[in-house]
Amino acid sequence: MKTHTVWFVRLLVMVSIFAIGSVPMVYADAHEMGEEEMAEEEASGASGWFRTDTDSLGTQIWVGASHAPDFLGGLSFDTDIYVVGTFGELDFGLGIPVVDSDSLSLSFLPMVGIGFDYAAADGPSSLIAPQLFTYLTAGSIYFESWIQGFFNSPFDYGDDSIYTRDFILYSLNDTIAIGPQVEVTTGLGDEGGLSSMVVGGRANVGYGENNTLGVFVGFETQKGDEETGLTGRMTFVRTW
């Protein structure tokens, strides 16, 4: 009985010594693996973003990424998906940095997209092109512009239109930026014309590192007789 106890104690001591000695090695291996993953992520030159909007179209989800491999020579290959209801859109584009300094940054992002309404198994339902996004930062001033063409008639999915969104913000501090915003939708074709023009104000609020909450409140100038015209959008953006 004593012999069994002695051997059990010896075995327990050996296992404990082995376990304690293994901790630094395991930690070192995990640390090295973490450094390797971080190095691979930095080498890939990829950045990503997540966005959700709630407005007259409902709640929409966006996810995108920007890849800047060395062979593009400073340009980036951008992709994103956009989902609202049963409609999904896939976009491809080329990021073009024009100026990139501490005091001034200007870039253009032309894109083309294809949309599918998965409520019906009829293939593509919309061509979203051309698209051009402009981003300008100059000190405390930030300007952003959207130009998008929606061609739905070739797919019998509705009318064609051109949509623009422009806003300019002034940073009051590191957390809050405010400014005016205008959105215009123009119908194309024989019965086209101005179908929507919303004019209002926007505020962007920093929600911690890499998080932004945007609130837009505007007035629809093309409102119906029984509508107040008050509208807007809530936006949340996360970048990494």
Question: Can you give the residue ranges of every domain in the chain?
Answer: 1-44, 47-239
Q: Decide: 240 and 47 in contact? Cβ < 8 Å.
A: yes
Model confidence at 1: pLDDT above 50? no
Report the pLDDT value the prediction gives residue 183, as an integer from 0 to 100.
98
Strand, coil or helix: what is 135?
Answer: strand
Question: In Å, how far are 40, 61, 67, 82, 211 from 240, measured between CA atoms?
Answer: 15, 17, 13, 18, 9
**In this prediction, what percent of the chain has a pLDDT beyond 70?**
82
Bridge partners (DSSP) listed for residue 187: 161, 193
Report the pLDDT value the prediction gives residue 6, as an integer from 0 to 100.
46
CATH number of 47-239: 2.40.160.40
Cis previous bond, 130, omega within 30: yes
What is the identity of the amino acid at 228? Answer: T
Please report which confidence band the pLDDT of residue 76 belongs to, taking 50, 70 and 90 as the band edges: very high
For 26-60, write each residue's pLDDT tens digit: 444 545 555 555 555 455 579 999 999 999 999 99
Q: Decide: 141 and 132 in contact? Cβ < 8 Å.
A: no
Give me 178's structure tokens. 């405010």
For 2-12, write each residue's pLDDT tens digit: 444 444 445 44
Cα–Cα distance for residue pair 87/85, rounded to 1 Å? 6
| Whole-structure pTM value | 0.81
- DSSP letters along 155-181, please? GTSS--EEEEEEEEEEESSSSEEEEEE
Q: Decide: 132 and 108 in contact? Cβ < 8 Å.
A: yes
Q: What is the mean pLDDT of the chain?
A: 88
Report the pLDDT value the prediction gives residue 14, as an integer from 0 to 100.
52
